[in-house]
Amino acid sequence: MPLGLNVRLAIDLCMTALLPFAMAYRVTGDAPHEWIGVSVFVLLVVHNAFNRRWYRTPFKATRNFRRMMNVAINLLLLTAMATLLITGVLLSRTVFAFMGFNGGMAIRQTHTLAAYWGLILISLHLGMRWEMIMAATQKITPCARKRPIWTIIIRIVAALIVIYGVYASFDRNMGAKLFLGYSFDFWPPDRPVVLLFTGNLAIMGVYVCAIHYALKLLAYRRATNQAGGRL
């Protein structure tokens, strides 16, 4: 596998691994939360540098539904990330404290809103590319190469992740978080912290699986319609 692709996968893996920690402000506290956030943004900048060619033709005329969806998700994700960066700087008490900003409740609400929408949009972004990620993984890991038993195992694991992710979404009241229902996140001190991180990952898994299998169904229906038209 080309070195460049290895590096890209490593960057994406690191960003994905850091996200649950970035979303755990009530557990990590101010300083770790801010430094984790800065790390995510640095990786995001590198990720965009590797994929800078995409910006040359994002609005190229096309009737391809998948491409239009990809453009929409990417632009919304960029908006969410830019909002997170700006509000994060305004709220900073450690990394950017020297700037002297003192963000109020409206800034905190906007930061929380952008964080949770960003989590979903990143998941959709990953789901759009899941086949490519799995293909690259199969080249790296011999045991992940396509065999019936591994396909079954992966689908069972995906189903379990989705079930837990749906439960975690209701448990954490994601609906309210996505529509300015909460300005602060809360995690009961008597619950294991690991459930917070695994819950965030499982919520991401819901959206990764949803868009991945929706696109597969769309491709199947298109192929079926084309085959029927040739009969």
Q: What is the pLDDT of residues 158-188, one digit of tens each?
A: 999 999 999 999 988 888 888 876 656 677 8
d(CA 172, CA 166): 10
Q: 119: exposed, middle or buried (C-beta count within 10 Å: 0-12, 13-18, 19+)?
A: buried
State the total domains in the chain.
1
Among left, alpha and beta (phi > 0; psi -120 to 50; other), residue 173 is left
Half-sphere exposure for 222 (CA within 13 Å, toward CB): 9
Residue 1 has pLDDT above 60, yes or no: no
What pLDDT, on a 0 to 100 scale, did the predictor assign at position 13?
82
pTM for the whole structure: 0.85
Give the integer Cα–Cα distance in Å for 178 and 174.
Answer: 6
Structure tokens at 102: 């003192």
**Torsion, Cα of 50, 53, 56, 62 (10° steps):** -120
> Which range of residues forms the domain containing residue 81?
3-230
| DSSP character string of 39-90 | HHHHHHHHHHHHTGGGGGSTT-----HHHHHHHHHHHHHHHHHHHHHHHHHH
Average pLDDT, whole number, for the chain? 83
| pLDDT confidence tier of residue 77, bands split at 50, 70 and 90 | very high
Q: What is the pLDDT of residues 112-150, one digit of tens each?
A: 899 999 999 999 998 988 887 777 666 656 555 556 777
Examine the pLDDT at 86 and tell me if it is beyond 90. yes
Q: Average pLDDT in the 5-24 region?
A: 82
Q: Could you tell me which residues come within 8 angstroms of residue 96 by beta carbon, excluding any fewer than 6 positions away?
A: 34, 88, 89
Percent of the chain with pLDDT over 70: 86
Query: Which structure tokens are listed for 219?
Result: 């491709």
CB 119 within 8 A of CB 200: yes
34 close to 95: Cβ distance less than 8 angstroms: yes
Measuring CA to CA, how many Å separate 218 from each of 83, 151, 184, 223? 32, 20, 38, 9
